[in-house]
Structures are given as C-alpha cells and as structure tokens.
C-alpha cells in the first residue's frame, strides 16, 4: 500500500508544481486536476493489482470493481483535497484503505509534500512514518482543537477539501476531534483504520456505527467524543427549531 502511494505521489507532486506555478494546460485548471486525479488512480490500481491480483476495488473515479476474492477490497481516493490542489494549497493526500470481510482492516494516508505516511493495520497500532501514533489526551472542550469540513452539500459541484488528512491529524493528536456529514466511503476508509489503532473513538455524528454507509462521521479521543457528540446534537436540535 505504501509503495503504491509513493509511486502515485510522484505524478501528483509534478502536476501540483504546474498548478502552483500556474503552468496548467489551456483546458483549464479544473480539467488539469481531474486528469491528475485519474492518472494517480490508474497508478494505484496497477500497483495494488500487481501485489494482490484477486482483490476488488471501490474507486472514487472508477466506481466498484469486483474481484475474485470477495473478502478483500481496496477503497481508494487518489487525490484527497482536490480543492486545495486546484488552488495551489499544499494540503492534500493519497488514501488507500483495505476492507476485509466488511470491516476496515488497514489504511495508508500519504501526504507527499510533507513526506508523511500515516498507516495502520488492525491489531498492529498506528504510525506516522516510523513513529507510533496516539490520539491526544485532552479532556476539556475549552482546550480542544476541533476540525470540520465544508461544503456539506452539493459535493458533485464542489470538490472535497481534505477529510483524510483531518482524520489522520486526529490520530496524531494534532486535532482533538473532527466531524462532517455526507462523506463518501473513500473519504473515510483509511482514516477509520488509522484512528481506531491510534486509540480514537469513531461514530456517526448521531452516535451510530454505519459511517461507511451514511457518510456522517465524528472522531475524537475517548475523553471528548461523547461531549462533542452531545454538543453537536444540541446544535442540530436548535437548528431544527
């Protein structure tokens, strides 16, 4: 997974350099970034298929691809943070999750510009490069740094920001919590595996556990998760009134 991410990153970094220097093609920056997204996905699929030829795929660009091995599938976001990439903001990542028998088993999130590889495997802990990761120990909301993403709706016309790095940052203790609605499975797959192995608590914003189906996610350390859930529930109730 890491080797596939490293290989795809080379093309993304080259393309990002062109966006950053405004040397994009005449087709326009949005088309250029879409092409970069597709090329990265093709590289990831090629590398992962070579390593595990029977596994299936769930791809942001290519949809679902069935494999001979029905127990395992890769869930891939080749460019998490499309809007950032499009605007030359150096905050994007490659995300690869491995789902085994319907549960997230392993995850890799690679930030190529910082050369930060967040990774985890069920039962083996979570790591940033070679350093073990743990969520923060903060227990007071007043001291906490909570992240969210936007926009919440209209994602077909508004590319995503960088949900995967937000989840990885919770795992690393950089953020104390994160929440967002209506995400796609590839937005959260790898992050779920990494967060859980780092000791984080992950649920739907309403408290359920069907994050991959609903796309609603609330992640925090164990000391803040329930308080944050109640706070969001109270805010939602006020909005409905």
Q: Which domains does the chain possess?
A: 2-132 (3.30.540.10), 141-240 (3.40.190.80)
Q: What is the pLDDT of residues 105-156, one digit of tens each?
A: 999 999 999 999 999 999 999 999 999 999 999 999 999 999 987 654 444 4
Q: Which two tokens stand for residue 201?
A: 């608590």
**pLDDT of amino acid 159:** 46
pTM check: above 0.75: yes
pLDDT digits (tens, 9 = 90+) for 41-83: 999 999 999 999 999 999 987 899 999 999 999 999 999 988 8
pLDDT at 155: 47
Peptide bond into 151 cis (omega under 30): yes
Could you tell me where the beta strands, DSSP code E, fall in the chain?
55-59, 63-65, 69-80, 93-100, 103-111, 116-121, 126-128, 131-132, 146-148, 177-180, 201-203, 217-220
* pLDDT tens-digit readout, 144-194: 999 987 654 444 444 455 677 899 999 999 999 999 988 999 999 999 999
């Amino acid at each position: 997974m890491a080797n596939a991410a490293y290989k795809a990153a080379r093309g993304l970094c080259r393309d990002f350099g062109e966006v950053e220097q405004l040397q994009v093609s005449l087709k326009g920056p949005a088309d250029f970034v879409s092409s970069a997204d597709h090329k990265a996905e093709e590289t990831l699929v090629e590398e992962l298929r070579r390593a595990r030829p029977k596994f299936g795929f769930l791809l942001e660009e290519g949809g679902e691809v069935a494999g001979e091995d029905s127990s395992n599938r890769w869930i891939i976001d080749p460019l998490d943070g499309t809007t950032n990439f499009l605007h030359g903001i150096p905050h994007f990542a490659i995300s690869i999750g491995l789902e085994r028998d319907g549960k997230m088993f392993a995850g890799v999130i690679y930030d190529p510009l910082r050369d930060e590889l967040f990774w985890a495997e069920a039962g083996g802990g979570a790591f940033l490069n070679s350093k073990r990761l743990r969520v923060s120990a903060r227990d007071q909301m007043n001291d906490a740094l909570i992240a969210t993403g936007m926009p919440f709706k209209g994602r077909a016309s508004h590319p995503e920001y960088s949900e995967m790095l937000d989840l990885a940052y919770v795992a690393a203790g950089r953020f104390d919590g994160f929440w967002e609605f209506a995400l796609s499975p590839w937005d959260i797959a790898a992050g779920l595996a990494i967060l859980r192995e780092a000791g984080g608590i992950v649920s739907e914003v309403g408290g359920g556990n069907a994050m991959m189906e609903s796309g609603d996610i609330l992640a925090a350390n164990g000391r803040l998760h329930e308080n944050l859930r109640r706070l969001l529930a109270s805010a939602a109730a006020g909005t409905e009134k």
